[in-house]
Amino acid sequence: MKISSIKCYTVDPGFRSRTWIFVKVSTDAGIHGWGEAYTLRGRDQAIVAQIGELGTACLDRSPFNIKHFTQVVQDDFAQRRNSFELYCAQSAIEQAMWDIVGKACGQPVYNLLGGKCRESVRVYANGWSDHCRTPDEYAKAAAAVVEKGFTAIKLSPLPGSWRTYVPREHEHHVVSVIRAVRDAVGPNVDILLDMLRRLNAGSASRLGRQLEPFDLYWYEEPCLAENVDALAEVRGKVGIPIVTGETLYGKAAFQPVLNARAADILNPDICNVGGILELKEIGAMAEPHYVAISPHNFNSTTVALNATVHAAAVMPNFTLTEYYLPFAEFANRICPTQLIPENGFIKLPDGPGLGLDLDESLLQQHAGFAGIAPALVSPAVER
């Protein structure tokens, strides 16, 4: 069985000016697989173009040779010159290859990765507070999402532009919001605070110490992940678990974080870290360091979520993963079989491959922008 074509769909979900990018990889045996790439406003067309170029590295190859494919991408195609767009493209194609392999074997992907460690995957709700501004608005929205059954919620209440040095009143606002949310949801709901890489180590440490009384589940990305020393400084001064990793691509980028003991939890994203196998290998790297894995998933609640669930199923040090609540309604149109949380957990799918399919007619109906040619040529030469 060989990969015969790649088709890329860009989809406008009508939310947050964001485009979803799906990749369909087909084979000469009539089996196809789906993958999803991470996207950012202003860079999605570059990601689509990279998917098109990357097709030269996988056409006419066996979809079973996934590890070899990722090696060829990094060593030969990119000549070890990495980029965000490259990792997004690799991630999407790699997921689709796993989907094909699972279908060909008649097994869910997690069975091919070593077997499941759990029957369900815990999720945290995100996106529920996107339109909140005041502490009272955050509190009411938090209570409403907990009423839906979620036992963990994430928010990013730091106001203003993304600047390294912020006014003290912005820090005070964050404390006021967290206090209101904790009062609204009670002591048994996990609150996850995301700082979006916005602060310097001093401000992050000062704010973190003020937040300690509210028993936060984590303090996500107080500083840039690339500044490992700053992260380690914050971790040493704040008694809240530190999270980082969504902006790191490939497992080598996580080694300095682990060596410096700069984080308690890593949150790589399956749609930009390199794919399912790369995420699993990062989990294995983190395990002997006693570092947990909580995959980031600011993607659709279709392909990306399924791929994340399969990877999470096989990692002993997995904790919970992201579920972006506002995306679910539109996602149900293109994928009525999408995974749905129940009481804060998603049951593992038991179908072959990733366990879902997308409606291509609806993908075309909701196209985001002109994508790549449906069939790529120039097959790669096997090594």
pLDDT at residue 369, rounded to an integer: 67
16 Ramachandran zone, left/alpha/beta (phi>0; psi -120 to 50): left
The band of 379, judged by pLDDT with boundaries at 50, 70 and 90, is very low
As a whole number, the mean pLDDT across the chain is 94
The answer to whether residues 119 and 248 belong to one domain is yes
The answer to whether position 15 is within a domain reads yes
Helix (H) or strand (E) holding 54: helix 44-54
The parent domain of residue 8 ranges over 3-107+358-365
- Lowest mean pLDDT: which of 237-241, 261-265, 354-358, 374-378? 374-378
Paired tokens of 206 = 């000062």
- Which residues, 6 or more positions from 200, have their beta carbon under 8 angstroms from its beta carbon? 164, 165, 223, 230
The answer to whether position 372 is within a domain reads no
Long-range contacts of 145-148 (CB under 8 A, 24+ apart): 145/325, 146/185, 146/189
Residue 293 is part of a domain; what is its CATH number? 3.20.20.120
Q: At what angle do helices 84-105 and 303-313 cross, to 10 degrees?
A: 70
The answer to whether residues 193 and 275 belong to one domain is yes
The answer to whether position 374 is within a domain reads no
The answer to whether position 378 is within a domain reads no
pLDDT at residue 78, rounded to an integer: 84
The answer to whether position 381 is within a domain reads no
Q: What is the pTM of this model?
A: 0.94
Question: What distance in Å separates the CA atoms of residue 123 and residue 118, rounded to the nearest whole number?
Answer: 14
The answer to whether position 379 is within a domain reads no
The answer to whether residues 202 and 258 belong to one domain is yes
The answer to whether residues 279 and 153 belong to one domain is yes
Count how many domains the chain has.
Answer: 2
The answer to whether position 383 is within a domain reads no
Q: Has residue 382 got a pLDDT over 80?
A: no
Structure confidence by residue, pLDDT tens digits, 34-49: 999 999 888 999 999 9
The answer to whether residues 34 and 144 belong to one domain is no
Q: What is the mean pLDDT of residues 8-27?
A: 91
The answer to whether residues 246 and 268 belong to one domain is yes
pLDDT at residue 373, rounded to an integer: 38
Helix (H) or strand (E) holding 89: helix 84-105
Structure confidence by residue, pLDDT tens digits, 48-99: 999 999 987 788 999 999 999 999 999 988 888 989 999 999 999 999 999 9
Residue 75 is part of a domain; what is its CATH number? 3.30.390.10
Structure confidence by residue, pLDDT tens digits, 308-328: 999 999 999 999 999 999 999
The band of 108, judged by pLDDT with boundaries at 50, 70 and 90, is very high
The answer to whether position 103 is within a domain reads yes
pLDDT at residue 212, rounded to an integer: 98
pLDDT at residue 381, rounded to an integer: 30
The answer to whether residues 16 and 66 belong to one domain is yes
The answer to whether residues 125 and 98 belong to one domain is no
Structure confidence by residue, pLDDT tens digits, 117-170: 999 999 999 999 999 999 999 999 999 999 999 999 999 999 988 889 999 999
The answer to whether residues 200 and 139 belong to one domain is yes
The answer to whether residues 340 and 199 belong to one domain is yes
Question: What distance in Å separates the CA atoms of residue 67 and residue 24, rounded to the nearest whole number?
Answer: 19
CB atoms within 10 A of CB 176: 15
Q: Has residue 372 got a pLDDT over 50?
A: no
Structure confidence by residue, pLDDT tens digits, 161-197: 888 999 999 999 999 999 999 999 999 999 999 999 9
Give the DSSP letter string of 31-53: -EEEEEE---TTTHHHHHHHHHH
Half-sphere exposure of 347 (CA within 13 A, CB side): 5
The answer to whether residues 144 and 87 belong to one domain is no
Q: In what order do the strands lie in the sheet with 20-27?
A: 3-11, 20-27, 32-37
Higher pLDDT, 174 or 368: 174
The answer to whether residues 31 and 137 belong to one domain is no
Give the DSSP letter string of 137-183: HHHHHHHHHHHTT-SEEEE----SS--SS--HHHHHHHHHHHHHHHH
pLDDT at residue 162, rounded to an integer: 84
Distance, CA of 185 to chain centre: 26
